Amino acid sequence: MAFSDQVKKLRELNLNEIDLSDLDFENIGSWPIFVKIALAILVFIVVLGAGHFFHLSALRDAHSAAVREEEQLKSTLETKAFQAANLEAYRSQMVDMENSFAVLLEQLPKDTEVPGLLEDITHTGLGAGLEFDSINLKRETEREFYVELPIEIVAQGGYHDIAAFVSGVSALPRIVTLHDFTLTPIGNSALLRVRVIAKTYRYKGGDR
């Protein structure tokens, strides 16, 4: 039978007349040609649909990856653009920091200036109304960038005298910090004995 006849027969086919129970699935070669064609078309549609689905999935994954990379590149570009736009401001801040650091270094006493610092501390305490029992230099402690010189101070006076002394020390032109306060009443009087460690600092780079 010619192929045109088969096509004509396929067009004239009434699907209700097909009984699938009559088809031998173990011997597909014996099936009518129009059933074979219908099966081939069905398989073709299934394969085409599956291929289309997996192809679209791969495209979606690639698109998502491209979008993420684009966002990362935009973020990097924005960061670099911001840094470039503020480069002069950063340089100005660096100069200010260097100047501030230089000022702080000038506030750190040299070895030869320690006696003068002790005199300033003593003068500040006497001016506040304190009476000194002792002022002793302790062993220096080396830190990463500076040397720390503790000074143990023992004095006595009223509460307001001690507060005035603390305020006066903080106003000294050199950096002095106060640590480990101990206040002890003296008898039945209003006087207090204060024991405190004053720390001054020297730049580790040596004399300037």
* Amino acid at the residue 80: K
81 in the same domain as 135: no
Residue 98 lies in a domain: no
How does pLDDT run across 107-153, given as a tens digit for each residue? 666 665 778 888 999 999 999 999 999 999 898 888 877 788 899 99
**What does pTM read for this prediction?**
0.49
Cβ-contact 154, 133 below 8 angstroms = yes
182 in the same domain as 126: yes
Model pLDDT, residue 164: 93
How does pLDDT run across 1-23, given as a tens digit for each residue? 444 555 455 455 444 455 555 55
Domain that holds residue 22: 1-85
CA-to-CA distance for 16 and 6, rounded, in angstroms? 18
Residue 18 lies in a domain: yes
Q: Indicate the number of domains in the chain.
A: 2
Please state, as a whole number, how many other Cβ atoms lie within 10 Å of the Cβ of residue 4: 8
Residue 100 lies in a domain: no
118 in the same domain as 80: no
Model pLDDT, residue 106: 67
Residue 102 lies in a domain: no
How does pLDDT run across 58-105, given as a tens digit for each residue? 777 777 778 788 888 888 888 887 777 777 777 888 888 877 777 776
- Better-scored residue on pLDDT, 54 or 14: 54
- pLDDT of 156 > 50? The answer is yes
120 in the same domain as 71: no
- Better-scored residue on pLDDT, 25 or 53: 53
Residue 55 lies in a domain: yes
